Structure 1
Amino acid sequence: MTSRFFALIPCAGTGSRSGAPMPKQYRCLAGRELLYFTLAAFDACPELTQTLVVISADDTYFDAQRFAPLRFDARRCGGASRQASVRNGLDALIEMGAAADDWVLVHDAARPGITPELIRSLTSALANDDVGGIMALPVADTLKRVDAEQGDRIARTESRNGLWQAQTPQMFRIGMLRDAIARAERDGHDLTDEASAIEWLGHAPRLVQGSLRNFKVTYPEDFALAEAILTQGM
């Protein structure tokens, strides 16, 4: 049986660092909510069986009608952390009929610069991989280590050789990712992304070249940059 592809969009965060008066995924950019552009990229990939958006139980901003006619489902099963939201979302996908051997592409709601081409570059690169992998970019900037005792004073310069900046989507088998998150939680490991959970199992995820446009909107000044990118691409 051929494995299917599912997308999972954790969307239960508050985006406190963004300075927006609402969760950043609902901030309007280029005439649409930020989340719309994220969902539109996955909607444009008919090879995906389903896209699931995970929102918090008390989310008062989400309105499915504003994202019509995009193809997706939404579940109010968001947790207190991204890790919990992803775990709950994986459980929901299984309930919806996904199998353990199917692929899931976990993507940040606040990366509206994702494109169908980037999604397909990831799925084509990893469809036959034993582990899976993530979108990422080689680190281009010089890295400085700060001395914790001196605040903003540089302690030393770190080599950037072999360092990559993780992006999303991050693509793994649903069953493997569920097991990895469960194992990390039992061991008290604080996950920063899905790949770190897979690494915790002893696997080595593959890196697939991403794009600068696929950055994560985090700070107030990021909205203007995202809008410029989205407007140019329209």
Structure 2
Amino acid sequence: MSGATVWAVVPAAGRGTRFGGEVPKQYLQAAGRPLIEHALTTLLAHPQVVGAMVALAADDARWPGWTSLQGKPVLCCVGGGERADSVLAALDALPADAPTNALVLVHDAARPNLAADDLDRLIAAATAHADGAILGAPVRDTLKRADTECTIVATEPREGLWRAFTPQAFRRDALSAALRAVRASGVLATDEAMAMERAGARPLLVEGREDNLKVTTPADLVLADYLLSRRASVGASG
């Protein structure tokens, strides 16, 4: 699949209720720009990515109205109540000339610090592997299992365990089929790899930088602001 068409899909219909506040977290500012702008800019800066489809809430009044970034199209569709619904809506809304077997990069709108070299390696791995690939990192901390009162009941082995990041990269047709199957079964897929796994696929894990953080708490936003500001200053000096 060398030279394959690559589209970015960004589910952004969530309310960010765990973060709190009135502003959905994808629109929170870090280093002077919304988190979703950082995410889209890095994705679209990659030479193989031809465009992005963003799944928005039907009543989203904060979307800036971008139609292009990095000289490439930014398209929008209405997402759903769950992440999987938004991703499926975005896949269905891709332009008519987007191949059914296009490589699709699904990336969190609130994950703003994606490194370009991680994206390079992910696209290469997913292009070479029929079942796709995701960014992630091995679990390095000791894991504890707790009861309902937060008392430790066991120490869990961490060997072979990874934290799943995004982007997650799969063929458009295979991912669409997997998401439809999961929805029909009533299972809530928390990421795209889970849907693919249930369809029998075995995606590759591509180790990425651990500062590819997803902003979930106010502390995450402070860290993202620091990382992105430092990244901008290094880029300006270079």
TM-score by length of 2: 0.92
Aligned residue among 146, 162, 166 for 2:160: 162
Number of equivalent positions: 231
Match of 1:83 in 2: 84
Letter in 1 for 2:190: T
Tell me by how many angstroms 1:184 deviates.
1.2
The residue that corresponds to 1:71 in the other structure is 72
- Equivalent of 2:173 in 168, 172, 175: 175
Equivalent-residue separation in structure 2 for 1:65 and 1:159 (angstroms): 46
Deviation of 1:63 (Å) = 1.2
Q: 2:184 aligns with which of 183, 186, 190?
A: 186
| Aligned AA (2:74) | D
Identify which range, 21-30 or 192-201, moves more after superposition.
Answer: 21-30
Aligned pairs (5 A) from 1:1-234: 3-65=4-66, 71-93=72-94, 95-148=95-148, 151-234=149-232
Deviation at 1:12, TM superposition (A): 0.8
Most deviating of 167-176 and 38-47: 38-47
**CA–CA distance in 1 between the matches of 2:70 and 2:175?**
30
CA drift at 1:67: 7.6
* Structure 1 residue 21: Cα displacement: 2.6
Q: Spell out, residue by residue over 1:26-84, the C-alpha distance to the aligned partner (whole angstroms, 9 max, x if none).
A: 11111111111111101211211211111111101011259856634232311111110
Which aligned segments of 4 or more residues in structure 1 are displaced greater than 4 angstroms?
65-70
Q: Distance in 2 between matches of 1:198 and 1:69?
A: 30
Aligned residue type for 2:223: L
Q: Distance in 2 between matches of 1:18 and 1:157?
A: 29
Rounded Cα–Cα distance in structure 2 between residues aligned with 1:63 and 1:140 = 39
Structure 1 distance, partners of 2:93, 2:66, is 21
Task: Measure, in 2, the Cα distance between the counterparts of 1:72 and 1:24.
Answer: 23
Q: Which runs of 5+ in 2 are unaligned?
A: 233-238
SS state at 1:18 partner:
coil
Identity %: 39
Amino acid at match of 1:117: D
Distance (Å, rounded) in 1 between the aligned partners of 2:68 and 2:90? 19
Q: Where do 5+ consecutive residues of structure 1 fail to align?
A: none
Please state how far the C-alpha of 1:204 moved relative to its aligned partner: 0.8
Q: Is the 8 A contact 1:8 1:86 kept in 2?
A: yes
Confirm or deny: 8 A CA contact 1:36 1:67 kept in the other structure.
Answer: no
How high is the TM-score relative to the length of structure 1?
0.93
1:67–1:75 distance in 2 versus 1, CA, 3 Å? closer
Counterpart of 2:57 in structure 1: which amino acid? S
Deviation digits for residues 149-207 of structure 1, max 9, x if unmatched? xx211110000000000000000000000000111112222101000000001111110
Structure 1 CA distance, aligned partners of 2:176 and 2:10? 15
Structure 1 residues 68 and 193, CA, compared in 2 at 3 Å: closer, same or farther? closer
- Supply the distance in 1 between the matched residues of 2:67 and 2:90 (Cα, whole angstroms): 22
Give the match for residue 236 of structure 2.
none
Provide the alpha-carbon RMSD of the alignment.
1.7
Q: Deviations over 1:112-163 (max 9, x none)?
A: 0012222111001221211101000000111111123xx2111100000000
